[in-house]
Structure 1
Amino acid sequence: QPGSEGAGPEGQLGSDMSPVFPHTVGKARACESCHASSKALGYGIGEDLGVVQPWNAPKVVDLETAAGAPIPRSARVQIEPIPGLERDWSAVVTRDGRQLQTVGSHFLGSGPLPQAVRERMDRRNVCAACHEVVPGGNLATSLLHHVAAAAGKTPEARGAHMSLVRRIVLTAAITEVAGGFFAALLAGGAALVWLRRRT
């Protein structure tokens, strides 16, 4: 469509993606299917599949040289090239916010997720399944979440979230090791007291 979303007279080369609204009425899909998906974030399926070459080049999945040439002589093309498809057409936006193709031209104000939203939403490799108990799965996590929210310390970006998860894992590991050490110490002390009383 000419002039659509700042593309100029030639329009956007690609398909017209239709936006979805998973949070309007209720939970429409698993949290991880959006928060841990490059496609849902707008970056396309190429990132998750490890496809970094353009689609108009033949795809060979085998041992490769640093330049990308297949090493085995018996290597065969797994995916034939698609003429004109110079990039992943499931991608609608780049990481730095450059729009690649039209998104929902029939909905007023629709488009790719804004940069700030994508940064808050991106939880790939951070295990969003933890949020079955966070923030309100039990009293302890609910209390910690409310304290963090009141102090303005809830993590908004991926780096802050990863830092929090790292701190939680370290705290849990230290607590379990220390707990085991003190339990062994207590058991040893109790055994020593029992032996002294018997003699």
Structure 2
Amino acid sequence: MGSRSPRPASDSQLDGRSWQDRVDVRDTENLVRLLHSVAYIVIAYLSGMRDSEVKHLRRGCLFKETDTSGRISRYRVTSQAFKGEGTPWGVEATWVVGAPVAKAIEVLEQLQGPRQKRLFAIPRTSRHFSRSARRAKAATCTNTDLWDFVRWINTYCTDHGRSDAIPPVSGRQWILGTSQFRRTLAWRDGMSEGRSSTAAWLPTFR
């Protein structure tokens, strides 16, 4: 991290080509923030967890179950559930999730410092990082990150001549927010002609 010279991007590809030729060290803060946004989107949408439940994810919250052949058969995630629990401290609950959510959690564990337990705390690469901070980002901060993520995608698509940008809504950039993910999941279930997937992500309490 000491050198400011551009370095080769990872071997991650988009449509068979490297997503970016070079990554400047000075871009690290913004790229990590974007990666946090991606992880949030994957977890919030595919798990059905509320923002407060996502923000209480901690290092070691992911559990893998295997079948008799040793292959992973199920992923479980533990966090704190708050709505309707009658306590500001929440109640420990478990969600069954898929492989994409598990991968997002593993990435977050790598991004955070080894002593940081909260997966959605401000990362070490941020100028706002504080070693004494133990709280996760506020919803307003996450909303700002999500808006910036939408802008980044659309700028990237424009710069690379791609047609899969996020379309505007009523002529304006889509304002993506933390409260939209469960609504989208509910809409998807409503359109599934009664074949609801909701039971797959309802939490169980301990």
Larger RCO, structures 1/2 (Cα 8 Å, 6+ apart): 2
Higher strand share: 2
Larger Rg: 1
TM-score, structure 1 normalization: 0.26
